[in-house]
Amino acid sequence: MGPAALLPFQRRVLDELLDEDALCIVARGLGVGRILAELARACATPRALVFLVNASEQDEADLQQQLMQMRSGEQADEAARLRVVKNETNAAARGQVYRRGGLISVTSRILIVDLLNGVVPAELVTGVVVHNASRVTAESIEAFVLRVVRQQNPGAFVKALSDAPEAFAAGFAPLEKTLKVLGLRHVHLWPRFHVDVQQDLSLEAAPVVELRVPQTRSMVELQQAVLDCLAATIGELCSATRLLDPESINVESSLFRHFDAMVKRQLSPHWHRLSARVRGMAGDLALLRRVAELITAYDPVSLLEYLDALLLSSRPTAGAAPGPAASWMASDAANILYAVARTRTFRKVAREQLPPQTQTQLRALGLPDAIVPVLEVPPKLALLAQILDEIGVANSTAARSGAAAGPVLVMAESGRECRMIRAFLASLHAHVEFDVPQGGDGGAGSRTERHPRAMVDMLRSFFRWKAQATGIRAGGGASAGPPASDAGAQRGRPPPTKRRRVRGASAAGARLPRAPAEALEQETSDMAAELAADEPAAPEGGSGYLDDDDDEWAAALGAFDESFGLLPGSETVLVHAYASRKDVLRALQPTHVVLYDPSPAFIREVEVYQARGGPLAQVYFLVYDNSLEEQRYLSAIRRERESFERLIREKATLVIPVGDAGAGVAAAASPANALMRTIAARSQRSARAVPGVDDAQPPQPPRIVVDVREFRAPLPSMLHMAGFEVVPRTIDVGDYVLHDNLVVERKSLPDLVGSLRSGRLFNQADAMTRHYGHAALLIEFEVNTSFSLQALGGITADIAVGSITSQLTMLVLAFPRLRIIWSASPYETVHIFAELKRGACEPSIDKAVAVGQDDAAVEREAVYSQAPIALLQALPGVTRKNYQLLARAFRSIRDLAAASEADIAEAVGADAAQKLHGFLHAEAK
């Protein structure tokens, strides 16, 4: 089956991209992947060398599949395919791939290293296609790649695509900044309200039935409890720090996923200075938003399991210092949240109140015999069953009349929801009946209740999980310390002997009793532990209600897969997640689509599918009425519309540099790079002042040897922009070699903390001071980050093992010749490097590579594949000194594992061979 034809508006988008270099921003669901495939098809020819950058693995897989569908017959061009280059391919093999031409998807880090090392034939590069252009910033590697490509081949084209308009609407002039980084002068905007898009999608519109499902009373109570927790957490966070904007940080905006990025963006400049309590509250906001989403997405059992997992994970483990507890977990709203979540799943009763046959039935089902299952069925599931019955009747009528009757496609948000829907539909007519007390827990008489078998299975799995969690906690968890009943009351409180001033209305000053949420969780754990202890005594095979549900459902799914092609389309119901929706409509050809969760992107895909002649007869749209789910859906549409409107206004007033030399040269000559040009000129004058340098020769750019692993950071790009010659190599000592006697190890703040705690920084400092006369540790802060390592309140006079300042002090005392350089940003680091290189000779590349290696062989980057070498260096007995000997002696890890100890000893010696061979052939148990 070949790919579907482009719609007229999609053809126009493609023509605009083919005519000129531009940034194309398309609304989600309008087929940006299909447009990329057609663009890739035009580029996938051996007469051109085109690079695809910033594409994920899923994007590459989808693009390969579409290109394969475009190739038909034996006369198809073999070059019309996508070649993927990863770090498993060495430099020599990558060079051969580049010279064959075609379309090549390569990671930005590998591409920039190959460009600087001359592995890429620059004269053959035709252009670069940038996917997901919203992620490209001035500090990203993609900007570095585009700048080098334009310098080496000014005639190469650049075409960028994106389907995230919201990313271009944050900050000051984001569209203009992105165009400058990409070196482009044109932008094309294609929102859903574009005239051409509306005209094409309105020709063949499928009938839509919107069903607003009312929420149950318990769902409304859960929703209100989460909103109360969010309001309390936001209020406490805003009072703890004044870094947040109170106008944008509110309960209404906290319900949407962009809220997490907004909070992180406002706190990011001072994140390393914030206390653990403030960081925890920022994380709690994302956690509570997730809970708000799960109220409408999960079934009652899964929601209760998720909440119990949160409560268990918040407890400190045995022997660990208790951290700051989440304040919302001790609030009254959290107690209501946990209580209602449990009430809609089951309720505990006295054993004497249950009929004996019900107790026997519960034990046979693997459930505690002191509970009454409630198992509230989500209203959407019940409505979905009715919709499928209605569709079944319509398909039967259509089949008798000879009309089209294809399968039914149900789309949900996540894979967990898909499994829930499949289990519910597979046991739609299978129920389990219980005799429960009449009129609540203590009423007289009894009544019969029916529950879906799938939800009974979920409840049994829940108690199994609780039994395992209880066993783990009892063996080495929090219960090894204080009792669980007192853990919640003491966690997060100061010792009784410590006095503290607390404001009158502060939640920290109120001494609340033990939270009912913890009491309910402990009660459930006790029932699960008792059930697990009595489980071996239960009758084998139960009472015929249930066998092993996992094996049963696996067998049912296997039988469905075997018979899928034999089932009539009108009797087939397929459940898919939105994440795996790639071309699912065209592959399945459904006549009915049910949107279990609202998704604006997939609604557009349905419109595009129907506009191409899809056989859709009906589309059902389900949404909970007056719910957070509905608010998120409406807000997503509104944010996209407002983002496009802002982009349209910004495009009308866009400042575009005019010049015939190309956008790249114009960007290099812009006033924004005046500092970089000044630094480069100063460095070149300093190089001419070095004794022995001929002034008659043209000045050469200053050289810096950079470790290839450093190309994940923005500093190499900033150095290249400033006029330095960046030489990527694999060096064992340091990150940047400025001259033969000076090496610099760069550490960002997270890397600095991790290196100090693991001790890796001490080993690196020892190697630098042994091999170089001058060694420096560069502590580099990010752009727009507070230039201070710790807050004033975090600096103490006493030496503490966990203190960063204490660890740095011990590092300086241990290595007196090590110098520490503090840099506010990568831009400031460029200025520092220029000053350090003033009056110094250029570093020797061969010497920088050979430092730290006894054998100055050809470097690992150019000869060996990176993944096997990394695995080899992690094995016992393998060191930096002998790994090359093993790489020469054995062609692969498989040959090494099959070799005898004597063969390994010939390469690396008896001691290393004994450790390595013993590890490779050790028994697993």
Contact in structure between 138 and 177 (CB atoms under 8 Å): yes
Beta-carbon contacts of 239 under 8 Å, excluding residues fewer than 6 positions away, are none
As a whole number of angstroms, the distance between CA 719 and CA 779 comes to: 17
In the prediction, which pLDDT does 284 show?
84
Q: Give the strand pairing for 49-53 and 82-85.
A: unpaired
- Run of H or E residues at 306: helix 300-313
As a whole number of angstroms, the distance between CA 23 and CA 168 comes to: 12
**Beta bridge mates, 821:** 778
- In the DSSP assignment, the letter for residue 571 is G
Contact in structure between 518 and 488 (CB atoms under 8 Å): yes
Which H, E and C letters describe 658-684, residue by residue?
CCCCCHHHHHHCCHHHHHHHHHHHHHH
Q: Which CATH superfamily is domain 8-201 in?
A: P-loop containing nucleotide triphosphate hydrolases (3.40.50.300)
Question: What are the DSSP E strand ranges found in 277-340?
Answer: none
As a whole number of angstroms, the distance between CA 414 and CA 419 comes to: 9
Q: Which amino acid is at 698?
A: P
In the prediction, which pLDDT does 568 show?
62
- 0.85 surpassed by pTM: no
Domains of the chain, residue spans: 8-201, 215-297, 670-787+802-850, 864-920
As a whole number of angstroms, the distance between CA 345 and CA 376 comes to: 6
Cβ of 229: how many Cβ atoms within 10 Å? 26
Question: What are the DSSP E strand ranges found in 486-528?
Answer: none
- What residue spans of 78-169 are helical by DSSP H? 91-100, 108-117, 141-152
b/e map of 62-94 (b: 16 or more CB within 10 Å)? bbbebbeebeeeeeeeeebbbbbbeeebbbeeb
Q: Which amino acid is at 349?
A: V
Burial (0-12, 13-18, 19+ Cβ within 10 Å), 110: buried
Which H, E and C letters describe 372-392, residue by residue?
EECCCCCHHHHHHHHHHHHHH
- Strands in 408-412's sheet, in edge-to-edge order, are 208-213, 618-624, 592-595, 408-412, 573-577
In the prediction, which pLDDT does 697 show?
53
Contact in structure between 130 and 183 (CB atoms under 8 Å): no
Helix, strand or coil for residue 161?
Answer: strand
Tell which residue, 79, 100, 97, 80, has the closest CA to residue 88. 97
Q: For tokens 């480069």, what's the residue?
A: 680
Burial (0-12, 13-18, 19+ Cβ within 10 Å), 195: exposed
Contact in structure between 321 and 483 (CB atoms under 8 Å): no
As a whole number of angstroms, the distance between CA 729 and CA 736 comes to: 10
Task: Please write the tens of the pLDDT for every residue from 830-874.
Answer: 999 999 988 888 899 988 888 877 543 444 444 556 677 778 878
- In the DSSP assignment, the letter for residue 168 is G
In the prediction, which pLDDT does 295 show?
92
As a whole number of angstroms, the distance between CA 254 and CA 248 comes to: 9
Q: Is 873 left (phi over 0), alpha (psi -120 to 50) or beta?
A: alpha
Q: Which sign does the torsion angle of CA 331, 336, 337, 341 carry?
A: positive
In the prediction, which pLDDT does 331 show?
84
- Strands in 187-190's sheet, in edge-to-edge order, are 82-85, 102-106, 49-53, 125-130, 157-162, 23-26, 187-190
User: What stretches in the chain show pLDDT beneath 70?
Assistant: 1-3, 72-80, 246-247, 269-272, 316-325, 439-445, 470-515, 534-570, 581, 657-699, 786, 790-802, 854-866, 880-881, 924-925
Tell which residue, 251, 253, 249, has the closest CA to residue 240. 249
Structure tokens at 92: 């020599």
Structure tokens at 183: 């070196």
Question: What are the DSSP E strand ranges found in 307-445?
Answer: 346-348, 371-373, 408-412, 431-437
In the prediction, which pLDDT does 793 show?
52
- Run of H or E residues at 26: strand 23-26
CA distances to 290, 422, 712, 725, 843 from 729, rounded to whole Å, are 44, 53, 14, 13, 13
Q: How far apart are the first and last CA of the chain?
A: 50
Tell which CATH classification among 1.10.540.10, 3.30.750.210, 1.10.150.20, 3.20.20.60 matches the domain 864-920. Answer: 1.10.150.20
CA distances to 45, 212, 623 from 626, rounded to whole Å, are 54, 9, 9
Cβ of 330: how many Cβ atoms within 10 Å? 22
Contact in structure between 516 and 335 (CB atoms under 8 Å): yes
Q: Give the strand pairing for 618-624 and 592-595.
A: parallel
Architecture of domain 670-787+802-850: 3-Layer(aba) Sandwich (3.40)
State the Cα angle at 397 between 395 and 402, rounded to 5°.
Answer: 90
As a whole number of angstroms, the distance between CA 661 and CA 258 comes to: 40
Determine what percent of the chain falls in helix, strand and coil, rounding each to the nearest 5: 55, 10, 35
**Beta bridge mates, 8:** none
Cβ of 549: how many Cβ atoms within 10 Å? 18
As a whole number of angstroms, the distance between CA 192 and CA 642 comes to: 12
Contact in structure between 24 and 651 (CB atoms under 8 Å): no
CA distances to 53, 99, 108, 834 from 93, rounded to whole Å, are 19, 10, 17, 36
Beta-carbon contacts of 608 under 8 Å, excluding residues fewer than 6 positions away, are 7, 29, 30, 31, 201
Q: In degrees rounded to 5, what are phi and psi of residue 16?
A: -65, -40
As a whole number of angstroms, the distance between CA 763 and CA 853 comes to: 15
Question: What are the DSSP E strand ranges found in 177-292?
Answer: 187-190, 208-213
Q: What string of DSSP letters covers 815-865? A: -TTEEEEEESSHHHHHHHHHHHTTT-PPPPHHHHHHTT-SS--S-HHHHS-
Structure tokens at 705: 């040897």
Q: For tokens 């998120």, what's the residue?
A: 632
As a whole number of angstroms, the distance between CA 330 and CA 311 comes to: 11
Same fold, 8-201 and 670-787+802-850: yes
Helix, strand or coil for residue 355?
Answer: coil
Q: Is 462 left (phi over 0), alpha (psi -120 to 50) or beta?
A: alpha
Q: Is 733 left (phi over 0), alpha (psi -120 to 50) or beta?
A: beta
Supply the Cα-derived Rg of the chain in whole angstroms. 32
Task: Please write the tens of the pLDDT for every residue from 887-915.
Answer: 888 888 888 888 998 889 888 888 888 88
Tell which residue, 705, 726, 669, has the closest CA to residue 848. 705
